[in-house]
Amino acid sequence: MSLLFSPYQLGRLTLPNRIVIAPMCQYSAEDGNASDWHVMHFGRMALSGAGLFIIEATAVEPVGRISPRDIGLWSDANEAALGRALQAARAYARMPIGIQLAHAGRKASTAAPWEGGRTLTPQQGGWQVVAPSPLPFDPQDAAPQALDEAGIERVVAAFAQAARRAERLGLDLIELHAAHGYLLHEFLSPLSNQRSDAYGGALENRMRLLLRVFDAVRAAVAPDFPVGVRISATDWVEGGWDVAQSIELARRLHARGSAYVHVSSAGLAPQQQIPVGPGYQVALAQQVRAATGAPTIAVGLITEAQQAETILASGQADLIGIARGILYDPHWPWHAAAALGARVQAPPQYWRAQPHGVKDLFLK
């Protein structure tokens, strides 16, 4: 029996298989409101046959958006618009749907990638960005505003409020975005956090904001509601955030009831040197899992069904994250099930698509 297509339990949530659609920004919202594009995108992902779909990085406050077109969950209007997109997907799909709550920190206020991804000034529709310290991501950019105590309290409260909205919408899971150089990761890494107060310096202090946010979100939702965290396990920069620190963080999160750790890497500093190749981040997930016992999602150039199966069978991870690959092939789980002799959920309108020579591919 295929491990990739075996069920997995995350708190009260039972996943039908271990394929997770990782969060992928769509840059298609208006004032944080999900648009018709999201209705189409959610529907496509929800009918893919994966075990879980996690909605893209969703800003908890306007200054936390990566771009002016980011989706958000800070207002009643955001909540209503997201609810409309979710309602359309749920009408035809049973897939569990989660959401990634995020704050972009010093990497906020940029144009969409297909518009060049440049930093936007206030005159260009951008805004003053915030960070742990007044250190820009790109030395050519204006310095971010270092968060003061009131700003930190505002951010913690914004995550908790967004979590309450997510649970009210009937979402099945929350993931906190502490990776890829965004605000929570910025506080973790000594490259971006040069504070001298209780939130900077020693590892204990640099972890403080993320742990406070996790505790606030955990307290804002039901006790058995799954809350996980995505981390960059390493900055791939000498003297930056690394695997040893990630392991200690994962221990703390696991003890607090984190449902899983979604192990990615990089994104914090332009000097990063990433050894990109097939499954290049899997070893990071394996190290976190082995040292802490925390369930892990492995992600990063996992493109083949047998590759994913081997990662699970060898104990390197508990779940497999698929991101850009499922944008390219929205039926990747179907093809993986066919290759591994497994079965997958699909809508009855598509049952006749089963390839010749493949039997009982679709669960009915």
The helix/strand count (H/E) of the chain reads as: 11, 14
Please list the active-site residues: 182
Residues belonging to the chain: 364
Rounded to whole angstroms, the Cα distance separating 269 from 266 reads 8
Domain of 98, in residue numbers = 8-363
Asked whether residue 126 is assigned to any structural domain, the reply reads: yes
| Percentage of residues of the chain with pLDDT beyond 70 | 100
Over the stretch 62-94, which tens digit does the pLDDT of each residue have? 999 999 999 999 999 999 999 999 999 999 999
The pLDDT score that the predictor gives to residue 336 is: 98
Asked whether residue 2 is assigned to any structural domain, the reply reads: no
Q: To 10 degrees, the CA torsion angle through 139, 142, 146, 150?
A: -150
The pLDDT score that the predictor gives to residue 364 is: 83
Phi then psi for residue 5, to 5 deg, are -110, 25
113 burial type by CB count under 10 A (0-12 exposed, 13-18 middle, 19+ buried): exposed
Mean pLDDT of 97-118: 97
The tokens describing 286, both together, are: 């394996």
* Total domains in the fold of the chain: 1
The tokens describing 333, both together, are: 């789980």
Over the stretch 126-177, which tens digit does the pLDDT of each residue have? 999 999 999 999 999 999 999 999 999 999 999 999 999 999 999 999 999 9
Mean pLDDT of 222-235: 98
Half-sphere exposure of 336 (CA within 13 A, CB side): 32
Q: By three-state DSSP, how is residue 126 classified? A: coil
Among candidate residues 208, 233, 228, 209, the one with its CA nearest the CA of residue 218: 228
The pLDDT score that the predictor gives to residue 5 is: 98
Asked whether residue 168 is assigned to any structural domain, the reply reads: yes
Place of tokens 């900055």: 235
- For residue 329, what is the domain's CATH number? 3.20.20.70
Contact between residue 73 and residue 162 where contact means Cβ atoms under 8 Å apart: yes
| Torsion region of 229: left, alpha or beta (phi above 0 gives left; psi -120 to 50 gives alpha) | beta
> What CA–CA distances, in Å, run from 296 to 90, 258, 260, 292?
27, 11, 5, 10
By DSSP bridging, strand 145-146 and strand 227-232 are: unpaired
The pLDDT score that the predictor gives to residue 346 is: 95
Which residues are within 8 A (CB) of 243 and not within 5 positions of it... i.e. 6 or more apart? Answer: 233, 234, 284, 287, 288
Rounded to whole angstroms, the Cα distance separating 20 from 84 reads 23
Residue 30 has pLDDT above 90, yes or no: yes
Asked whether residue 260 is assigned to any structural domain, the reply reads: yes
Rounded to whole angstroms, the Cα distance separating 362 from 343 reads 5
**DSSP structure class, residue 124:** G
Rounded to whole angstroms, the Cα distance separating 30 from 10 reads 32
| DSSP letters spanning 211-231 | HHHHHHHHHHS-TTS-EEEEE
Neighbouring-strand partners of residue 57? 100
The pLDDT score that the predictor gives to residue 116 is: 95
Among candidate residues 14, 21, 82, the one with its CA nearest the CA of residue 50: 21
Over the stretch 301-358, which tens digit does the pLDDT of each residue have? 999 999 999 999 999 999 999 999 999 999 999 999 999 999 999 999 999 999 988 9
With a threshold of 0.85, does the pTM exceed it? Answer: yes
The tokens describing 340, both together, are: 């591994």
Contact between residue 14 and residue 94 where contact means Cβ atoms under 8 Å apart: no
Over the stretch 170-218, which tens digit does the pLDDT of each residue have? 999 999 999 999 999 999 999 999 999 999 999 999 999 999 999 999 9
Asked whether residue 81 is assigned to any structural domain, the reply reads: yes
Phi then psi for residue 57, to 5 deg, are -50, 120
Which residues are within 8 A (CB) of 52 and not within 5 positions of it... i.e. 6 or more apart? Answer: 15, 19, 20, 21, 95, 96, 97, 98, 172, 173, 319
Among candidate residues 214, 95, 189, 59, the one with its CA nearest the CA of residue 137: 189
Contact between residue 270 and residue 20 where contact means Cβ atoms under 8 Å apart: no
Asked whether residue 3 is assigned to any structural domain, the reply reads: no
The pLDDT score that the predictor gives to residue 267 is: 98
The tokens describing 102, both together, are: 């995020």
